[in-house]
Amino acid sequence: MSPIPSDVLAEIQKEYTDGFPEKIATIKAALSSNNWNALAEITHKIAGSGKTYQMPELSTLSRAIEMRLLKFQACDETAQLGAQKLIEALEARRAGRSVEVDNGLMSQIAA
C-alpha cells in the first residue's frame, strides 16, 4: 500500500477535525449528565476513527477511557479527567497543534 500524499491527508484530516466541535459537545453533555454509557460510545468512535485519520494519540487516549468506563460501568473521577484531556486534545488537533498523551495519565486511566 502506498502512503497517502500529504496534501490529500491534510484535506481529509481537516474534514475530520471539522467534526470535533460536535464530538466535544457530546463528551461535555455525557460528563455533565454523568452518562458513562454515552461517554463510552463517543470514545469508542474516536478510538476507531483517530487511527484512520492518522491521529493515533486520540485513539490511544479514547480507547483507554472507553476501557475504564466499561470496566467500572461508571464515570469516575479518573475517567472524567481523561475525558477532559480528550477534549483538550481534540481542540488542539482542530487548531492544528500536535498532541502528546501523558504516560502518567494513561497509567492512571488504565488502573
Which cell goes with 62? 479514547
Per-residue model confidence (pLDDT) at position 4: 87
- Candidates 3.40.50.150, 3.40.50.300, 3.40.50.970, 1.20.120.160; CATH matching 6-110: 1.20.120.160
Per-residue model confidence (pLDDT) at position 1: 58
Per-residue model confidence (pLDDT) at position 2: 66
**pLDDT tens, per residue, the chain with 111 residues:** 568 899 999 999 999 999 999 999 999 999 999 999 999 999 999 999 999 999 999 999 999 999 999 999 999 999 999 999 999 999 999 999 999 989 999 999 988
Per DSSP, helices labelled H in the chain are 6-17, 20-32, 36-52, 56-72, 77-94, 103-110
Q: Are 36 and 73 in contact (CB under 8 A)?
A: yes
* AA letter at 5: P
